[in-house]
């Protein structure tokens, strides 16, 4: 029927796959990515739905069609058969990931934590005790075995809890894409193959931006900034979003749903006094771009692009 219809068909299907009414996938902590819902069995036919979702994504990849979904890094790793690690927990529970990191970084011998190889997990509001290995409830976590504990907790949260869903999804996916072919890629390449570069709606971005420290929407510097954002490439807009928010994706629902450290937090531009060669900086925890009061649009564009191409990843301490 034509490529436009085909693209729309995949777009509509991919949106329905993550429709919360089906309880198949759940959003990550930042609201931009999805992974299988460990409680999807509330739908008795959920594994058939996961198999179908796998078929749709395999079919899309086979026909070089992009889908309108971004998954968590760990789910791409599951598709590729790559083991997850504790850092992947941050996508679904940042605080829990910090706790695991703390356990690895510190001597827990005399802290009296009394952790065992058994954890409580929430199942529709009810807490259930789940052993990490046979007899885990009676095995204490020590300095010597804490790395094993962290890995088993990670596997429980990121793999064991959703293993049937992963298996069903892969059954469908592999009908079109053999494992030997998909394993040629890493998780970042797979994301680009399936979903491409995220589309960014600049008008929605402008509509949901706040200004502080002296800036107003009508100020020349702000108008230059948005003109530059309109002029730069889609890839550079993604870098700008990464630079300011720490994420390369816009949440479902647009910029109005961007999350900060303590809930919804609009993209914000703050004024900074200008000095020659000063680059823009950002505070990703509050989605704030600290934009110097540049004397011209040309200087603003030059300094912004230097910051984006040289510093869109990583952080420093303020």
Q: Which residues are catalytic?
A: 285
Tell me whether strands 126-131 and 118-123 are parallel, antiparallel or unpaired: antiparallel
Letter string b/e over residues 142-169, b meaning 16 or more CB atoms within 10 A of that residue's CB: eeeebeebbbbbbbbbbbebbebbbebb
Residue 292, strand partner residues = 272
Alpha-carbon dihedral 306, 308, 311, 314, rounded to 10 degrees: 170
Query: For residues 153 and 160, what is the distance between their CA atoms, to the nearest angstrom?
Result: 10
Residue 31 φ/ψ region, left for φ over 0, alpha for ψ in the -120 to 50 degree band, beta for the rest: left
Query: For residues 190 and 180, what is the distance between their CA atoms, to the nearest angstrom?
Result: 14
Residues 49 and 24 sit within 8 Å (Cβ to Cβ): yes
Residue 105 CA to its chain's centroid (Å): 25
């Amino acid at each position: 029927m034509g490529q436009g219809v085909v693209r729309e068909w995949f777009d509509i299907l991919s949106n329905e796959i993550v429709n919360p009414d089906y309880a198949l996938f759940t959003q990550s902590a930042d609201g931009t990515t999805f992974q299988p819902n460990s409680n999807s069995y509330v739908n008795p036919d959920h594994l058939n739905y996961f198999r179908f979702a796998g078929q749709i994504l395999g079919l899309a990849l086979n026909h070089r069609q992009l889908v309108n979904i971004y998954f968590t890094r760990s789910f791409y790793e599951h598709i590729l058969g790559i083991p997850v690690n504790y850092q992947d927990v941050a996508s679904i529970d940042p605080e829990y990931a910090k706790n695991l990191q703390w356990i690895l970084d510190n001597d827990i011998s005399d802290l009296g934590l009394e952790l065992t190889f058994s954890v409580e997990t929430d199942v529709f509001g009810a807490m259930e005790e789940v052993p990490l290995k046979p007899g885990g409830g009676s095995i204490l976590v020590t300095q010597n075995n804490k790395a094993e504990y962290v890995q088993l907790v990670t596997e429980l949260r990121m793999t064991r809890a959703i293993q049937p869903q992963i298996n069903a999804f892969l059954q469908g996916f592999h009908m079109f894409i053999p494992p030997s072919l998909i394993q040629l890629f890493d998780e970042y390449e797979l994301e680009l193959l399936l979903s491409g570069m995220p589309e960014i709606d600049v008008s929605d971005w402008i509509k949901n931006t706040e200004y502080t420290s002296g800036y107003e929407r009508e100020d020349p510097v702000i108008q230059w900034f948005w003109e530059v954002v309109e002029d730069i490439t889609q890839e550079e807009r993604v870098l700008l979003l990464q630079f300011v928010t720490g994420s390369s994706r816009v949440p479902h629902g647009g910029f109005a749903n961007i999350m900060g450290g303590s809930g919804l937090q609009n993209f914000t531009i703050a004024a900074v006094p200008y000095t020659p060669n000063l680059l823009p900086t950002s505070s990703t925890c509050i989605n704030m771009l600290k934009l110097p009061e540049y004397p011209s649009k040309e200087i603003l564009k030059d300094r912004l692009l230097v910051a984006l191409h040289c510093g869109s990843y990583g952080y420093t301490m303020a």
